[in-house]
Amino acid sequence: MQNPLLDHSALPRFSKISPDHVEPAVDSILEENLQTVQSLLAEGGPFSWESLVEPVEGLDHRLSRTWSPVGHLNAVMNNGPLREAYNRCLPKLTRYATEIGQNESLFRAFEAVAADGNVSDRPRRAVLEHALREFRLSGVALPPEQKARFREVMEQLSSLQARFEENVLDATNAWSRHILKADKLDGLPDGVLDRARETAEAKKLKGWLFNLDFPTFYAVQTQARDRDLREDFYRAWSTRASDAGPHAGQWDNSANMTDILALRSEAAKLLGFDNFAEYSLARKMAGSVRQVLDFLEDLVARCRPAAEAELAEVRDLAGHDLEAWDIHYYSEQLRQQRFSMSQEDLRPYFPVDKVLEGMFETARRLFGISIRSSEPVGAWHPDVRYYQVDDQDGSRGGFYVDLFARAHKRGGAWMDECIGRAKLEGVDDLPVAMLICNFMPPSGDRPGLLTHDEVVTLFHEFGHTLHHLLTRVPYPSVAGINGVAWDACELPSQFMENFTWRSEVLPMISGHHLTGEPLPEETLQRLIESRKFQAAMQMVRQLEFALFDFRLHSVGRGLSRAEIDETLAQVRSEVAVVNYPEFSRPGHGFSHIFAGGYAAGYYSYKWAEVLSADAFSAFEDAGIFDQDTGTRFLNNVLEVGGSVPAADAFIAFRGREPSPEPLLRVSGITS
């Protein structure tokens, strides 16, 4: 029987893929790819776009067509054998990537093609530039000794980063709070209490047993009336994996932090950068370390007074000085007092089908595309839908939508590439995306109903989907979201979020599931107004993380534990409005930067938010559904993918450099 993972003639047949198919398919593709690279190089020069670069693009495309359905099924239909097959392939893929990335002959051949001047087409130049950059960032051009050291440093980093994350997980899992008296739990929502009671029962305990997962922690901080309970949870949460708090010294990440920073600095210096922040910026839109620091420091200066004013309102309501564990609680009280509206109250007005219909209509008006439902042949679950996307000239691609939470499906929401756009010798694939959420499923007669937060999430992922689907670039490595600077990736997604806050759009996406009535005007206005609630406090909180991260990575050498603490204290004194307790150790649990891809990149959240708000302000000026502006956004941002530098793409659309003013205005920080 043919392996369905190796059949690239149509959409993947997800329902036919079994765990047994995974490893043989990946093995055969990797082996064939490496052999093809060898025989391409064996032909000797002179190399050209046609004889070298395009065939290599084709190899990556084949690999991604085989691997993408596997990664996807592992995320949405997880089971033991599949997970094992998936995990067995990961090291093989890493080895393959290193082998390609550090292949000096291949690198020199790409260099020769770039140098001979025959490739002038912009997307082709972008393919070459991206490939050369990735070679260099893999250490391909280093002398043998340094090349080996670079590989060693990267391997050590990946295991230290994994250990950092494990410590955070283990420390989180190790803590729990057993409570016998109901009055201690005043204010907590039923869902959280039910779960805590079940957890206690499972351990044959009376009362309630709480874990330290984020939803529980957050519910306690925002809703528990008992101040000691809030402090208890706060202390446990803010000292995870550190030398302080209830498990001080166990799973302590202190040494991992200093080791990780030292190794990152060494890796960056081996490649000729001054510091790790500079290395990180090689893949980003921001031009320099100074530019990022200026960007963050400028936002701090603009937001801090508003954040202080917001905090003063909370203090007034509380009637006493606020500790860190009081702020969320009194903020929530203030929110209810001001808007008397909860997320749950709005749910009946946002039935899934109505929201999708209005969202597709929004895209039709903006970008002239039509989206129609079609049979999801060979999909992975009965909930899955499939949509075809067309414009006046024909098909642009399609996307799967899998909206509801279920067992064995990873939490959260995301967009993933199913098939990348590729028009190469012998291949003509249109893009296909997968839009995944975890909303509350329908039950009985009641359809799937969304909170407004979830509507925002859906629009966000739809923005990524459009970015992937509407590309005009024929080469997969720079088509759609591929090759887009990391700090600009969230531009289309956050851009789309803006529409969910507009009085022109809300009536299109809302209708009570029983009566069909749109959101009442007065509720709609309160909802729109609530967007600005404590926006400045949230902003300075994000800026504090971003500055801490960026300063740690821009020093140019490793830092001692004391220096890390000093950096944190300094950032807090400049940025934070909250009075943090001496014991808190936020760095020790900061997996985004110490364990993962956001190292010297946490600022990207704010950076892209500035871009998206500024892009959206062009629509505020011209009209929310203005077609010319829509077409300009389509042509200059969505269609070009990674083939144009993000800064150029933005300026081509907006006619000027990005400005933070629109973000400050929609957040209510300036008027």
Sites of contact with Zn ion (CB under 5 A): 490, 493
Residue nearer to Zn ion on the CB measure, 493 or 510: 493
Residues forming beta bridges with residue 386, ordered by sequence position: 374, 400
CB of 94 to Zn ion, least distance (A): 25
Residues 545 and 601: their CA atoms lie apart, in Å, by: 10
| Farthest-apart Cα atoms in the chain, separation | 80
Residue 538 belongs to what H/E stretch?
A: helix 535-553
Going by C-alpha positions, the residue among 138, 118, 130 that lies closest to residue 477 is 130
Residue nearer to Zn ion on the CB measure, 17 or 437: 437
Going by C-alpha positions, the residue among 157, 128, 162 that lies closest to residue 279 is 157
Residue nearer to Zn ion on the CB measure, 233 or 605: 605
**Contact, 315 vs 577, CB < 8 A?**
no
Six token digits for residue 416: 């993933």
Residue nearer to Zn ion on the CB measure, 429 or 461: 461
Six token digits for residue 211: 């874990």
Bridge-based pairing state of the strands 432-439 and 394-404? parallel
CB of 464 to Zn ion, least distance (A): 6
Q: Is the dihedral of CA 411, 413, 419, 422 positive or negative?
A: negative
CB of 438 to Zn ion, least distance (A): 15
Integer-rounded Cα radius of gyration of the chain: 26
Instruction: Give the CB-nearest residue to Zn ion.
Output: 493
Residues 516 and 35: their CA atoms lie apart, in Å, by: 60
Residue nearer to Zn ion on the CB measure, 474 or 492: 492
Residue nearer to Zn ion on the CB measure, 209 or 363: 363
Six token digits for residue 45: 């020069």
CB of 597 to Zn ion, least distance (A): 13
CB of 435 to Zn ion, least distance (A): 11
Residue nearer to Zn ion on the CB measure, 493 or 554: 493
Residue nearer to Zn ion on the CB measure, 362 or 493: 493
Residue 31 designated active-site: no
Please tell me the number of Cα atoms within 13 Å of 113 on its side-chain side. Answer: 27
Task: Report DSSP letters for 193-260, one per residue.
Answer: HHHHHHHHHHTT-SSEEEE--HHHHHHHHHH---HHHHHHHHHHHHTTTSSSSTTTTTT--HHHHHHH
CB of 41 to Zn ion, least distance (A): 38
CB of 408 to Zn ion, least distance (A): 23
Cis link prior to 662 (omega < 30° from 0)? no
Selecting among 165, 310, 454, 461, the annotated active-site residue is 461
Residues 534 and 303: their CA atoms lie apart, in Å, by: 11
**Contact, 489 vs 138, CB < 8 A?**
no
**Contact, 59 vs 33, CB < 8 A?**
yes
Please tell me the number of Cα atoms within 13 Å of 119 on its side-chain side. Answer: 23
Residue 470: what residue type?
Answer: L
CB of 491 to Zn ion, least distance (A): 10
Residue nearer to Zn ion on the CB measure, 263 or 437: 437
Residue nearer to Zn ion on the CB measure, 465 or 493: 493
CB of 572 to Zn ion, least distance (A): 28
Q: Is the dihedral of CA 499, 505, 508, 509 positive or negative?
A: positive
Residues 5 and 16: their CA atoms lie apart, in Å, by: 9
Task: Report DSSP letters for 161-202, one per residue.
Answer: HHHHHHHHHHHHHH-EEEE--GGGGTT--HHHHHHHHHHHHH
CA angle 232, 238, 243 (to 5 degrees): 105
Indicate which residues carry an active-site annotation. 461
